[in-house]
Amino acid sequence: MAIYTIWLREMLHFIRDKSRIIGSMGMPLFFLLFIGTGLNSAFSVPGGVGYMEFMAPGIVGMILLFGSIFSGLNVVADKQFGFMKEMLVAPVPRSSLVLGKTLGGASTALLQALLLLSLVFLLGAVKFSLIALLLVIPIMFFISASFVNIGIIFATRISDPHGFQVIMNFFIMPLFFLSGALFPVDNLPGWLKILVLANPLTYGIDGLRGILIGHPTFPLWIDFTILVVFSAITVLIGAYAFEKMQ
């Protein structure tokens, strides 16, 4: 009940903030249209797909990453505007609060990603079946759940929204560029490959790519297992951070 209540509030905030929904589409579409189109003719990627098609799952990963981490901003805002106290003084375990926030953040990121996927589909950048669409939903969910919690972990420590944005930008860019979203992982030089392989988002995007356009780098079950384990770890740390928050 409490989890559902927290989730519901996140959803209400989300659907009332139309500008955020539209705004969140901007950057990924910009990447796809300009960089994707620009590099489409210059590069060939394995499996004989066009670069644009190769990149499409990458920008879905991008919107999931951005949307999720910045949902930590809601936690910062709750602290700043005092609403956090209303939740902390309620007879509700902290873990329920974190789960509610996680599900709320993951749902909103998921909705943004689905909207983006439909736009990408309509633009003709990539073709996929309805079954593939249904299959990527769990993958997208676990990607968001992990990064929502990373956002929450930072949010419990930071009380200034600007500070939060600055610090998160610092993390988001490397996470995105070192994820195989923009280039194939196989032929990278050693040091770069290590960084990319250490990035959980790599497996998320690989999973998305495998299902949407085929030619994954890793078997699907590996991608999925890593995502689930990573989400579980971040949820636990998130719950712990919430518990410690005063």
Partner 1 sequence: MIDTKELTKRFGELTAVKSIELHIQEGEIFGLLGPNGAGKTTTISMLSTILTPTSGTAIVAGHNVATEREDVRKDIGVVFQDPSLDDELTGYENLEFHGRLYGMSKDERKERIVELLELVELIDKKDIPVKNYSGGMKRRLEIARGLMHKPRVLFLDEPTIGLDPQTRRYIWKYIKEMNAQERVTVLVTTHYMEEADYLCDKVAIIDHGEIIALDKPSRLKSKMGKSVISMDVSKPDKFCELVRKSKWVIKSKCVGDKVHLTVKDGEKLIPKLVILAEKNGLNVNSITMHSPTLEDVFIQLTGRHLREEQASSTDALRKRFMARRGH
221 binds partner 1 (CB under 8 A): no
Cβ distance to partner 1 smaller for residue 96 or 179: 96
Q: Say how many Å lie between the first and final Cα of the chain, rounded.
A: 24
Give the binding range for partner 1 (CB under 8 A) out of 77-85, 118-126, 132-140, 194-202. 77-85
CB of 70 to partner 1, least distance (A): 16
Q: How many Cβ atoms are within 10 Å of 179's Cβ, its own excluded?
A: 24
Long-range CB contacts for residues 228-237, cutoff 8 Å, separation at least 24: 228/142, 230/142, 230/146, 230/200, 231/142, 231/145, 231/146, 231/149, 234/145, 234/146, 234/147, 234/149, 234/150, 234/153, 235/98, 235/99, 235/102, 235/145, 235/149, 237/149, 237/153
195 binds partner 1 (CB under 8 A): no
Are 99 and 236 contacting, i.e. CB atoms less than 8 angstroms apart? no
What is 155-175 written as a DSSP string? Answer: HHH---HHHHHHHHHHHHHHH
Window 136-155: contact mask with partner 1 (x via CB under 8 A): --------------------
CB of 17 to partner 1, least distance (A): 8
18 binds partner 1 (CB under 8 A): no
Distance CA 213, CA 56 (A): 9
13 binds partner 1 (CB under 8 A): yes
Are 203 and 218 contacting, i.e. CB atoms less than 8 angstroms apart? yes
89 binds partner 1 (CB under 8 A): yes
81 binds partner 1 (CB under 8 A): yes
245 binds partner 1 (CB under 8 A): no
CB of 1 to partner 1, least distance (A): 6
Is residue 52 within a helix (H) or strand (E), and if so which, with residue range? helix 51-70
Cβ distance to partner 1 smaller for residue 24 or 74: 74
Give the binding range for partner 1 (CB under 8 A) out of 8-16, 60-68, 104-112, 204-212. 8-16
190 binds partner 1 (CB under 8 A): no
91 binds partner 1 (CB under 8 A): yes
Cβ distance to partner 1 smaller for residue 133 or 245: 245
Cβ distance to partner 1 smaller for residue 102 or 199: 102
4 binds partner 1 (CB under 8 A): yes
What is 226-240 written as a DSSP string? Answer: HHHHHHHHHHHHHHH
Task: Show the CA angle centred on residue 32, arms to residues 181 and 55, nearest 5°.
Answer: 30
CB of 98 to partner 1, least distance (A): 14
Nearest to 87 by CA among 2, 150, 162: 2
192 binds partner 1 (CB under 8 A): no
Site of interaction with partner 1 (CB under 8 A): 1-2, 4-5, 8-9, 12-13, 16-17, 81-83, 85-93, 246
